[in-house]
Structure 1
Amino acid sequence: MNRIAFIGGGNMATALIAGMIRHGAQPGGIAVAEPRAEALQELSREYGVATYTNNLDAAEGAAILVLAVKPQMMADVCRTLRPVVQKYRPVIISIAAGIRIAQIERWLDGALPVVRCMPNTPAMIGAGATALFANGRVSAPQRAEAQHVLDAAGLTVWVPEEDQLDTVTALSGSGPAYFFLMVEALENAAFSQGLSRETARALAAQTALGAGRMLIESGESAATLRQRVTSPKGTTQAALDSFRNDHFNAIVARAVDAARRRGFDLSEDMESNT
């Protein structure tokens, strides 16, 4: 793996760094730029990576540059990185939601190899789901290197069109919050019917974990697994009928579409503000 620099040392960058080191990456080949002194100290102490407060210093000589800053900061950060990016022309990996490749290229002042991706928060425990899209200037070896970085955090898939990343953002990027909401609702429902808060929380969380593992490990579809656990006129059927009567599928579809549209709006907002 060539030298890699992270611009931004927040949770997602830390998750990727941790995963890479677990998979054999050498800390000496990883640099991180981050303005928060406490975060830099933690990264240095925990992982032994090189840390910087100046973005240009961290990016100097990097073959891979990961932009791990908030979308609202991306334009300014890219503009400050122009000199070193134009000098070394690294492959750029962006994990900023809603920011288009064309915008990144414009802010960096040149046609560059750019991979845009959308990881999610379970990456912090190595169970992430990440979709990637590469522009036409990314070579096959660079695609492999970008995927290697994200593979360290969990599942990776490539999508053929950049616009599909808005849907990915709505599905897996925001998706963990949907499941947390469901578990929270199950916990509250059980608590209201007499279970202790602790017991309700433990059972709801373990149920979510078990269901997720069954989906991954069985290789069966969600529909098949749902049908297997549903006995005609049984308790599960009663609950599913209640969901259906309340138009559960339509509720989910509207929520995912709202998140997708917000991802598109983020890009438009950045365009109008820069």
Structure 2
Amino acid sequence: MNEEPTIGIIGGSGWLGRSIALAMLDKAFVQPGALVLSNRSASNPLTSAKWSEVTVTSDNQALVERCEVVIVSVRPEQFAEVEICAENRLVISLMAGVSLEDVVQRTGSRQVIRAMANAAAEIGKSYTPWLATQQVSEEQKAFAQCLFETFGGADEVFSESHLNYLTALVGTGPAYPALLARSLFQHAVSSGLPPAIAQRASHAVVVQASQLIGNGRSVDELLQALISYRGVTAAGLDAMLASGFDKTIKAGLDSAASVASSMNPFAHSADTKEGPMTR
């Protein structure tokens, strides 16, 4: 692999594709002239004038032919409409539920990495687990790890079952904390707080938690320290656990993991009337 390969993103105008493009540019991981994005309109989704050198095309195969690394960031059900031949390229798939073998078969590349980034890439905080085919070299793996670290943290995993589970756990991005924030907000409002104050207070709880967890203490140490006061916090935690908090979380993750493991991303392709999609 070249020290500074040209990188292409199919789906470069979508939320995730655009976030990754901006992160790589902001961190100088790739120079604007070595980045190619594809979307239907061939319009540059990176509005800043300083990124005007980024190439944008509506032709996915033209992107592939210009790049050594091809990132596929489209919705899983749209992948059936992305017709490319990417032999001898490193292909990085960001599509939930699309197996390594599916990507190999549809792209012609044997050097494939399947990764699960999430919406927190927009703020550089995505946690991205990834899995590689046997043909991906150690050099390519190191390159991919550095790429993922431009928009957060990353770990290599070694089975599709683990990646499917992590799709359910971290691929959801802010969804689980957002659900907690909404429940806190609704309870605060039902208790008589003005909605504006209830919203700020519930958001603060979630933000504070994200800042304290991992800040020199494990989760168990943090919980034990808070429970040991045997006051308001302990009463709240005890009641939540007694009401089945852990069971609710387990049920949600089990359900999400089951869907992630059984997704058929090509189920709706026959109903698609439009041409090759990039979001």
Structure 1 stretches of 5 or more lacking a match? none
**Any idea what the Cα deviations from partners look like across 1:38-66, whole Å, max 9, x if unmatched?**
xx333264633211111112222311000
Q: What residue is the counterpart of 2:67 in the other structure?
A: 62
Q: What residue is the counterpart of 2:21 in the other structure?
A: 17
1:41 equivalent in alignment to 2:44: yes
Q: What residue is the counterpart of 1:245 in the other structure?
A: 242
Give the RMSD, CA atoms, in angstroms: 1.9
Q: How does 1:226-245 map to 2 (within 5 A)?
A: 226-245=223-242
Paired residues of 1:72 and 1:270 also in contact (CA < 8 A): yes
1:76 equivalent in alignment to 2:73: no
Secondary structure at the residue paired with 1:35? coil
1:94 equivalent in alignment to 2:98: no
Q: What residue is the counterpart of 1:131 in the other structure?
A: 129
Q: What residue identity is the alignment partner of 1:12?
A: L
Structure 2 length as normaliser, TM-score?
0.88
Secondary structure at the residue paired with 1:155? strand
Q: What residue is the counterpart of 1:153 in the other structure?
A: 151
Q: What's the CA shift for 1:264?
A: 1.4
Q: Among the aligned pairs, what percent are the same residue?
A: 26
Mapped to 2, the partners of 1:92 and 1:41 lie a distance apart of 22
Secondary structure at the residue paired with 2:215? helix
Paired residues of 2:120 and 2:173 also in contact (CA < 8 A): no
Q: What residue is the counterpart of 1:113 in the other structure?
A: 111
Mapped to 1, the partners of 2:15 and 2:201 lie a distance apart of 28
Q: What's the CA shift for 1:175?
A: 4.8
Q: What's the CA shift for 1:232?
A: 5.0
Q: What residue is the counterpart of 1:52 in the other structure?
A: 57
1:32 equivalent in alignment to 2:37: yes
Larger helix proportion of the pair: 1
Q: What's the CA shift for 1:102?
A: 0.5
The one of 153, 177, 180 aligned to 1:179: 177
Paired residues of 2:100 and 2:114 also in contact (CA < 8 A): yes
Paired residues of 1:95 and 1:119 also in contact (CA < 8 A): yes
Structure scoring higher RCO (CA < 8 A, sep ≥ 6) equals 2
Structure 1 residues 236 and 257: alpha-carbon distance in aligned structure 2, compared to 1, 3 A threshold: same
Paired residues of 2:126 and 2:173 also in contact (CA < 8 A): no
Q: What residue is the counterpart of 1:190 in the other structure?
A: 188
Paired residues of 1:120 and 1:174 also in contact (CA < 8 A): yes
Q: What residue identity is the alignment partner of 2:16?
A: M
Q: What's the CA shift for 1:105?
A: 0.9
Q: What residue identity is the alignment partner of 2:150?
A: A
Mapped to 2, the partners of 1:243 and 1:206 lie a distance apart of 19
